């Protein structure tokens, strides 16, 4: 499997329902057509890429688009190298990571860094959920981001603030990612989420992961994974690599 579906979902190019009806080749071709329409590169340019290179350029371009780093008109005038260099500058400003280190990273890892892979994905939950903009996050400390996610989750669940305050950053990021996935994929609306506990959200996500991947893995397998691992599966990672 690949992260084709995750990019198409994160970019709002296809819905969860539409993706569940598409095979991997269909998702790949859809991503290629989407990237051609949002770049100055040709169809053949993207068709020649292997799965991970295509996922990387897709993730980088989608990240800049969804964080309002560039408009569609600006992206349509940019090459993949232009996008990568812009993302490197943004990640240096956001994380303080030295530019040479960023230049040695793949496009996919740069996008993941932007979502908070360096710190439990708390930043990513706030960003993907559209609870805060990139500009707002840049002005916030790590503690401010944590507290903002806590208040946000308490407002979108039946759990109290103290429940989330007791969580580690890793667990909090996972709880945020799970809720944001159900919300952004239109699997549950805000009213439904406000009546759900973390366990309810997690179990709903497990059911979705099983249906989406058509896997033979038992429920026990998914229950043994943390929320961030399950998110990887629903975004396109192969369940086998998480054994």
Give the pLDDT confidence of 208-238 residue by residue, as tens digits. Answer: 888 776 667 778 888 999 999 998 888 876 5
Given a contact cutoff of 8 angstroms between Cβ atoms, the answer to whether 156 and 170 are in contact is: no
134 and 224 belong to one structural domain? yes
110 and 124 belong to one structural domain? no
| Torsion angle (degrees, nearest 10) of CA 207, 24, 33, 83 | 80
Tell me what the pLDDT averaged over the chain comes to: 92
Domain boundary among 114, 140, 160: 114
Given a contact cutoff of 8 angstroms between Cβ atoms, the answer to whether 64 and 87 are in contact is: yes
Q: Helix (H) and strand (E) counts for the chain? A: 18, 0
128 and 221 belong to one structural domain? yes
1 and 108 belong to one structural domain? yes
108 and 124 belong to one structural domain? no
Find the radius of gyration of the CA atoms of the chain.
18
Given a contact cutoff of 8 angstroms between Cβ atoms, the answer to whether 34 and 13 are in contact is: yes
Residues 6+ apart with CB under 8 A from 45: none
Residue 227 is classified by DSSP as H
232 and 131 belong to one structural domain? yes
218 and 139 belong to one structural domain? yes
Q: What is the pLDDT of residue 243?
A: 41
136 and 221 belong to one structural domain? yes
Please determine, for residue 187, whether its predicted confidence score (pLDDT) is greater than 90. yes
Q: How many structural domains are present in the chain? A: 2
Q: What is the pTM of this model?
A: 0.84
Please determine, for residue 85, whether its predicted confidence score (pLDDT) is greater than 90. yes
75 and 126 belong to one structural domain? no
Domain boundary among 75, 92, 114: 114
pLDDT tens digit sequence for 94-114: 889 999 999 999 999 999 999
1 and 97 belong to one structural domain? yes
Q: What is the pLDDT of residue 232?
A: 85
Residues 6+ apart with CB under 8 A from 58: 3, 4, 7, 11, 31, 34, 35
108 and 125 belong to one structural domain? no
Domain boundary among 87, 114, 141: 114
201 and 133 belong to one structural domain? yes
For residue 69, the enclosing domain spans 1-114
């Amino acid at each position: 499997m690949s992260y084709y579906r995750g990019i198409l979902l994160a970019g709002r190019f296809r819905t969860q329902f539409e993706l569940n009806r598409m095979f991997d080749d269909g998702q790949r071709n859809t991503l290629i057509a989407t990237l051609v329409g949002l770049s100055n590169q040709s169809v053949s340019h993207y068709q020649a890429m292997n799965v991970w290179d295509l996922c990387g350029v897709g993730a980088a371009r989608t990240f800049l688009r969804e964080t309002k780093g560039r408009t569609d008109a600006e992206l349509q005038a940019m090459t993949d190298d232009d996008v990568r260099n812009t993302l490197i500058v943004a990640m240096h400003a956001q994380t303080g990571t030295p530019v040479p280190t960023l230049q040695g990273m793949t496009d996919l890892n740069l996008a993941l860094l932007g979502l908070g892979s360096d710190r439990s994905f708390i930043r990513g939950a706030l960003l993907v959920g559209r609870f805060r903009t990139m500009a707002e996050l840049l002005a916030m400390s790590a503690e401010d981001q944590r507290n903002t996610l806590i208040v946000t989750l308490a407002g979108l669940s039946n759990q109290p603030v103290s429940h989330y305050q007791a969580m580690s950053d890793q667990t909090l990021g996972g709880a945020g990612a799970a809720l944001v996935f159900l919300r952004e994929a239109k699997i549950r609306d805000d009213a439904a989420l406000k009546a759900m506990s973390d366990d309810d959200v997690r179990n709903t996500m497990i059911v979705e992961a099983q249906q989406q991947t058509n896997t033979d893995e038992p429920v026990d397998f998914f229950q043994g994974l943390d929320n961030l691992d399950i998110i990887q599966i629903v975004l396109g990672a192969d369940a086998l690599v998480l054994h």
